[in-house]
A and B are shown apart, each in its own frame.
Chain A
Amino acid sequence: MHRESGEVEDVEIQKIEAGVELPTNTLLYGPLDDLLKSFREIGRELGAQQEMIMFDTFEQATSKTGNVVNDKGSPLTTDLFFQVLETIEIDFDGNGSPRMPTMVVNPAMAEQIARLQQESDRPDVKARYDALMRKKKMEWRAREADRTLVG
């Protein structure tokens, strides 16, 4: 990977594997459903390993750049949520609407986010969000303006 900064990063291809054990009788004469179930297990296991690799890669990348917000296990608050958004680069589409990133969270965190969403209509939260988006848009415009050939 040759990054915009000129930094070159080697990414190793990683092996994932999964297997299930089936009695010979099931394999040869068993119901098709049992066979399909074993395929699904393999698929799930491979998917889980892929997911682990993906999150490990994210973690390594963010740790390296310092782009980490650590809440040390405390409950998610509006402040913390805005702090997270602050660290993320956000692009805008042709209509000027932000292309919001996808957040991947565990189920407990999802509940907390759902609770925070109920507060999103609060005028002070809304105003803070709008201000943040204005700032993000300015940053995006600056980034886009940099996309040029000079000299």
Chain B
Amino acid sequence: MQERLIEHWLDNINERGYQPAFLQMLVGEGHRVVHSTRHMAIEFGKDVVSVDSNGVPCAFQLKGDPGSRLTLAKFREMRPQLTELVEQPIRYPGINPDDPHHSYLVTNGEIEEEVQRAVDDMNVGYNQRGLGRLLLIGRGTLLKWAIDHASTFWSAGFSIHEKLIRFYNSDGVGAPMYDALSEGLDEILCLSDQTASLSGAEFGRRLVSASIFATLTTRNYALASNHVAIAGVQAVLFAHLAASETRHGRSNTEEGRAAKSIAREAFFGACTDLADEVVGKLEAHDAARPDLVERDHNVIFLSDGAFASHFTWRARELRTLSLLSITRLQGRQGQNSWPLSESIATRIDAFLEERSHPIDLWGEAAVPQALAYFWRCRTRVTNRSLQQVISFIISRNRPEDGYFPDPYHLADAALRDRLADGLGIERGKVKEDTQGNASYLTLGLFHCFVRANLKSAAKQLWPGLTRMSHLAMVPTEPWAFGLWRTDFGENVNLLLKPTGQWRNIQKDAADIETPHVPRGLSDDPIMLFAYITFAPHRALPEVLRFLHYEVCGTWFLPDPRPRSVNVNA
């Protein structure tokens, strides 16, 4: 069964879709992946650069021939790139360009015999010139590697298979089934299983197995070019990998770093694909309507007819803005960290700046997305936006019958709840499930706002805060933070004292520790931010305070701005 499931994936995916899993397989084969250039212009034909277990540098070019064959004609077309792959030295920090390297052409299709013959002929020439050989990795090898590295730790029962079948049957256009993904990762990584104790070798192999499982779940999203879903799966995978490091006491291992790095790259790969799509739509829009002084932003996000999308395009817009903003924040991290090409980055920056219509906060789950957009730049507007968000949530929690969809309800459910009366559709259970006069995020947001030292504005917000219950699901173990749902936690309901002491609140606001977050996640604030935009129920007050400190940075508190952060287990 598991072979068939992997085969089904491999035969239906393009090279972008299988690249993250391929990288994990390479790690499983003992390689150290040093570079992956999926979304940049290919650097001398090299999509992936690694160092194998013997210390030999390896360069890979990936091709997608799903369900078909690599023919001689196709091979001839790609010959200039292959020449570069073999003949141009690998120029990368830590690799001596004078060392001969192995070159690999990778395809998920069958390789025709004529192609193998042509490669043999080319290798004779390369050999005479003292160059390394060109090697082929075809469908058979990929399938064997995937089976070897993925399914070893899939339980004998049906649970992982059943989840993959569910993913394979999804239409690929909606949000992924994060709960099913998380359950599968939990099982493979032995997170909730209290009896599990992993050796170092098994820990590393399970990371690879879990990562390949996650990539397999993205098959239909990749086919539907659902970049947001792919980004979501990789962000959730990253959180589980970090959780696994904490759970098994193996922080900062090479295996952990490699697995997280590949998930991170895949996340930003999807963000970059999204940026490319947005820029493409902007260009099409501008070409079609050169007369418009301002862009008609909803056109960018309408996908299935104006009327059908009319009620939902702003939720799609916010989701897109959040991912583009996180990509923008990543670009601030320094050299070699900007995932976008300069021309795309410039267009995206202008796009983020030019929009002026209000953000649609459809529920508390939308708040982390809005924060990513607000905090992408440090301006006065950031504080005002924060104030408006807090004020809006308070206003939605009217004492009579107010409620605002809690962060456990994602966009589909929250919009259904909002639009049910107008559209005559079934309402769902958001109102029943959401505790009125309560909020999960407002207290954390308020602490962030307090750091701006706008005391009179804070005083205006305070009475509303004291009328609400402030809820949180606090994990009893930091690793449980990475799970979509967990039994390892306590529901906290906090009622504020009506009279608050400004100095005490400033002290609370100065706290940037994250004791309930796995270290591997808090060490990478950008990925933590990405994770809570997909898992908003994990946006604990401590997480919001920490991210505000790391990303936004406003700090006008009497307590000195901390230098070192996040001392946790």
Residues of chain A touching chain B, judged by Cβ–Cβ distance below 8 Å, are 1-6, 91, 93, 99, 143-144, 146-151
Contacts and interface: CB of A to CB of B under 8 A. Distances in A.
24 contacts: A1-B493, A1-B495, A2-B492, A2-B494, A2-B495, A4-B466, A5-B497, A99-B399, A147-B462, A147-B463, A147-B466, A147-B467, A147-B498, A147-B499, A148-B462, A148-B463, A148-B499, A148-B500, A149-B455, A149-B462, A149-B501, A150-B500, A150-B501, A151-B501
Contact of B502 (A2, A5, A143, A149): A149
Contacts of A93: 399-400
Contacts of B377: none
B505 A149 contact: yes
A151 B492 CA distance: 28
B498 A4 contact: yes
A148 B459 contact: yes
Contact of A99 (B400, B455, B501, B502): B400
Given A91-B399, A93-B399, A144-B463, A149 B500 contact: yes
Contacts of B505: 149
Contacts of B503: 151
Given A91-B399, A99-B399, A99-B400, A150 B499 contact: yes
B502 A150 contact: yes
Contacts, number: 52
Interface string B496-515: 11111111010000000000
Contacts of B492: 1-2
A20 B497 CA distance: 47
A132 B323 CA distance: 56
Instruction: Enumerate the 8 nearest inter-chain pairs by beta-carbon distance, A residue then B residue, closest first.
Output: A147-B463, A146-B498, A2-B494, A151-B502, A147-B498, A4-B495, A147-B466, A149-B459
Nearest to A6: B497
A4 B495 CA distance: 5
A31 B500 CA distance: 62
Report which residue of B458, B497, B501, B502 has the largest number of chain A beta carbons within 10 angstroms of its beta carbon.
B497
A132 B493 CA distance: 32
A124 to B, nearest CB: 32
A1 B463 CA distance: 20
Contacts of A2: 492-495
Nearest to A3: B495
Interface in B284-335: none
Contacts of B458: 149
B394 to A, nearest CB: 12
Given A91-B399, A149-B500, 11 more contacts: A1-B492, A4-B495, A6-B497, A93-B400, A146-B499, A147-B466, A149-B459, A149-B462, A149-B501, A150-B501, A151-B502
A2 B468 CA distance: 12
Interface string B445-473: 00000000001001100110011000000
Contacts of B466: 4, 147
Contacts of B455: 149
Contacts of B501: 149-151
A3 B467 CA distance: 12
Interface string B474-507: 0000000000000000001111111111110100
B312 to A, nearest CB: 33
Interface string B399-424: 11000000000000000000000000
B398 to A, nearest CB: 9
Contacts of A150: 499-502
Contacts of A91: 399
B131 to A, nearest CB: 67
Nearest to B462: A149
Interface string B86-115: 000000000000000000000000000000
Contacts of B462: 147-149
A150 B500 CA distance: 6
Nearest to B455: A149
Contacts of B467: 147
Contacts of A148: 459, 462-463, 498-500
A62 B228 CA distance: 50
A32 B495 CA distance: 48
A92 B502 CA distance: 27
A151 B495 CA distance: 20
A5 B494 CA distance: 11
B14 to A, nearest CB: 47
B489 to A, nearest CB: 12
Contacts of A6: 497
Nearest to B503: A151
Contacts of B459: 148-149
Nearest to B456: A149
A2 B550 CA distance: 29
A5 to B, nearest CB: 8
Nearest to A147: B463
A53 to B, nearest CB: 16
Contacts of B463: 144, 147-148
A91 B400 CA distance: 10
Given A144-B463, A147-B466, A148-B462, A4 B399 contact: no
A120 to B, nearest CB: 24
A4 B458 CA distance: 19
A151 B502 CA distance: 5
A143 B498 contact: yes
A151 B503 CA distance: 7
A146 B501 CA distance: 12
Contacts of B495: 1-4
Contacts of A3: 495
B193 to A, nearest CB: 22
A1 B500 CA distance: 19
Interface string B526-554: 00000000000000000000000000000
Nearest to B470: A2
A70 B171 CA distance: 62
A6 to B, nearest CB: 7
A2 B492 CA distance: 7
